A = this chain, B = another copy of it.
Amino acid sequence: MRFTSETSSDGLLEQLFTLGEIPGVLWTPEGATGARPLILMGHGGGQHKKAPGVVARARRFVAECGFAVVAVDVPGHGDRPKDEEYDRIATENQARVDAGEDPAPLIAAFQALVARQTVPEWQAVLDAVQRLEHVGAGPVGYWGVSLGCGLGVPFVAAERRVRAAVLGLGGALVSAEAAGRITVPVEFLLQWDDERVPRAQGLALFDALGAKEKTLHANPGRHGEIPAFELDSTVRFFARHLR
């Protein structure tokens, strides 16, 4: 793990790093020492580790809860090079959708393929970050919606350090089998008028989650329109389960 830059503002320390070929960012309270809960955030499709929604949420987790937050670029996103195989599949899928094919199973298959790479990558990131003195081996939370849900479901299912997860804007086709293996508390966000994920598929993914404590929060609006008050709820959810 190699730190490439470090900046501070408003009590927040931001450290950019690379771990092998994975570019990442770590946020912690300025002057933090000792172990604390850590939240890994997965960004959405076409976004990156420092997308505005990721940064805004990370700021609150750090400022209000004193947590550490880490985010990395998904392959083919942000500071990572284009991935030729993924690009080829994406182009092929687009052509099939243009020809009238249902996009949902294509997206699901694609995300499952990418997850085979991101699950071990994210586990390596946890290993590295938790070795830092100002992060330590505290409980871990996961936050990710849309692509962050598609990649997050297999990650949360596989990674025993994760104690609570916020997921959403994803459908059952993505990962119903992995969802069934998730037993930690989940807050699941669904947009009632999601133009990308059919409502029934979102409800089916919530249904498939194996967790005994899981809450569906559904709000009117399109895919990108999660209301601001849900972030308040997310902060409280993580505070309740990771502290």
The chain A residues found within 8 Å of chain B, CB to CB, are: 190, 192, 203, 206-207, 212-220, 227, 229, 232-233, 236, 240
The residues of B that contact A232 with a CB separation of less than 8 Å are 236
The residues of B that contact A192 with a CB separation of less than 8 Å are 207, 216
The residues of B that contact A190 with a CB separation of less than 8 Å are 216
Residue of B nearest to A237 (CB): B229
Cβ-defined partner of A233 (8 Å) among B213, B220, B227, B233: B233
The residues of B that contact A207 with a CB separation of less than 8 Å are 192
Residue of B nearest to A218 (CB): B216
In angstroms, Cα B220 to Cα A218, docked, is 15
The answer on a CB contact under 8 Å between A217 and B220 is no
**Interchain residue pairs with CB less than 8 A apart (11):** A190-B216, A192-B207, A203-B203, A206-B218, A212-B220, A213-B219, A215-B218, A215-B227, A216-B216, A217-B217, A233-B233
The SS class assigned to the A binding surface is mixed
Cβ-defined partner of A214 (8 Å) among B206, B220, B233, B240: B220
The residues of B that contact A213 with a CB separation of less than 8 Å are 219-220, 227
The 5 closest A-B pairs by CB, nearest first: A216-B218, A215-B219, A215-B217, A217-B217, A214-B220
In angstroms, Cα B213 to Cα A190, docked, is 14
The answer on a CB contact under 8 Å between B219 and A217 is no
Residue of B nearest to A187 (CB): B217
In angstroms, Cα B206 to Cα A190, docked, is 13
In angstroms, Cα B230 to Cα A236, docked, is 12
In angstroms, Cα B215 to Cα A227, docked, is 10
